[in-house]
Each structure stands twice: as C-alpha cells, then as structure tokens.
Amino acid sequence: MEFRVLGQNLKVSSIGLGCMGMTGVYGEKADHTAMVKLIREAFDLGITFFDTAEIYGPFVNENLVGEAVKPFRDQAVLATKFGFDIDMETGERRGGTNSRPEHIRKVVEASLKRLRTDYIDLLYQNRVDPNVPIEDVAGAVKDLIAEGKVKYFGLSEAGIETIKKAHAIQPVTALQSEYSLFWREAEHEILPLCEKLGIGFVPFSPLGAGFLTGQIDENTKFDPSDFRNLVPRFSPEARRVNMALVDIVKNYAKQKKATAAQIALAWLLAKKPWIVPIPGTTKLSRLQENIGAVDVDLSVSDMVAIDKAISAIPIQGDRLPESYLKMTGL
C-alpha cells in the first residue's frame, strides 16, 4: 500500500476504509464479529485510515471500530465526527445539528471511550452548524488538540467561507465531502481552495454509493432500510438515465484490465496527490478489489479523455434528500 499526506503531516494509506455501512445505512447491519475481522484484514492489507462517526448507529459504529483496531491502535489513523444533535445517554437523534463547544467536548469524551483510545487522530465537524460560529467550533477543537485528546481538525461538507474562517483559527487538515465521477461539484471551488491552503481532501461515496461499481441498474431492488431509497439520484428513472456514465467507466475498465470500481477510485487518486478516498464495504473481495485501484495507472491523456466523456453525460437526480442538502455547503 502506498501512503499520502493530509494537510501538513498526517500520513495515511492512499485508500482508507469507510466503516459507516458496516452497521446499517445500506440495508441491515452486518455481523459484528465478521466486521471486526474485515477491519483487521484491511489493516493486514495495508489500510491504516479508518473512518467512523458518532452518528453511525448512533454510537455502535465507533464501538465496532474501536474493538477492531485495538490490537494495532498505534499504527492506525482513526477519524471520527461530531456535529449532530444526539442524546448522549440514549442515542436518540433529535434532528438538526449541535456544535456548541460544550457539546463537542462531551462528544469527544464519549467517542474516546467507544474507540478505546486516549486520542482521536482526525476529528471532523460532520456538518456545519448554522447556529454556532465556526470560529467557536475551531476554537473548541484547538483546545482539545492542546490537551492531546485530538491530533488534527477536519470539516465535512463545508463551504469555502466556512473553511477559510475555521482554518484561520485552527489549521484544517482534511475536508471530507462527496466527490466521485458521479458528483464533481468539488472541482469548482473546493479543491482549488484546499490546494491553496494545504488541506487534504477525503472523498466520501467515491464509488457513488455503489453505482460506479456497475453492479446496480434500474432494476436493482434495495433493502427497505437502505438509505438509497430516499436519494433522488437512485430512483429507477434516474438510474436508467445515469447508466450512461457507468457504461463509460466500464469501457475504460476493459481497456485497463481493471474493474469499474477500480477505475472510479484510480480516477480520484490521479486527480491530486492529497486526495484519499474512503470506500466502504462489508465484503473481503470488494476490499481487495478497492485496494487494487492503487495499481491502476491512468495517464494524463486517460484523465483528459475520461473527464471529457463524463462531462457530456447529464446526471439526473439530486445526490441527497432535500433535508440533507440543507445541511451542506454552509
């Protein structure tokens, strides 16, 4: 496995592991013991960067990741998140955001216990809180960094003004936002700003929530609990139109003797040396497939041709439900 650097000096594997789907979201949660084993297999295969959040579950995903990485904690980079309004005792989701400094501190203390560690490598604000100045949020994380409970500060789905204000108080090491062949909005303003400020970029849904793997079409039936049932981009009608994008990816996969998923990940890796995608999976075969993307070489001419081809495809459907979109890009 190759390594990359987020921000100034956070060294991580070139591909990380998004653990959210192991405890639900894309259908029923997977077997706990099997997922502990998978995370440990990921580490044995070279992955050192593991992504979780208190909201995943809530709480159960952090417990899973904490148990899994305990044998190699000092060699792992753990990323988790705060920012949603969750009852700290019951785990009840109250709705909306909560990034009040006193709440951030409580979340971090609870996350440390669940993750079975005394420090968090990368702490993200999961979504920008319109009711709390970002300067106060960055200041709270700065205090936690000074205390040694957090090493690096990150933001998720934040807009350029929020990023600038936060970075002025406490340097932002990484921005985690959606970016893939299926959603390229970050290229307009976000990526140039990250490059200017020296901020790493961690794309979530790098495989378009599975769509770019080529394993989903208009006839695919999702589990009733699958989040994609709520996403406009995953309606059968939208999928029918958007398959044109997948066809392009599949064609390049044939040329490179790779899979569609590997092309999608290799495309991200080729974009910038400070981009680190975090595809998620619950299967060892998919994990191995994703890791194989680091060996797929996309030349400059390949990248130009791919970008030109996909730019001609009008993608149908919003990437998130309307209620979620309201919490992005502030």
Spatial distance between the Cα atoms of 311 and 184, rounded to a whole number of angstroms: 10
How many CA atoms are closer than 13 Å to the CA of 38, on its beta-carbon side? 24
Specify the DSSP element, H or E, that contains 66: helix 60-69
241: exposed, middle or buried (C-beta count within 10 Å: 0-12, 13-18, 19+)? Answer: middle
On whether the CB atoms of residues 197 and 7 are closer than 8 A, the answer is no
Please give the C-alpha separations between residue 206 and each of 17, 210, 269, in angstroms, as whole numbers.
11, 9, 10
Q: Which residue has the tokens 């992504």?
A: 51
Spatial distance between the Cα atoms of 165 and 175, rounded to a whole number of angstroms: 14
- Catalytic residue set: 56
Count of H-run helices and E-run strands, the chain: 11, 11
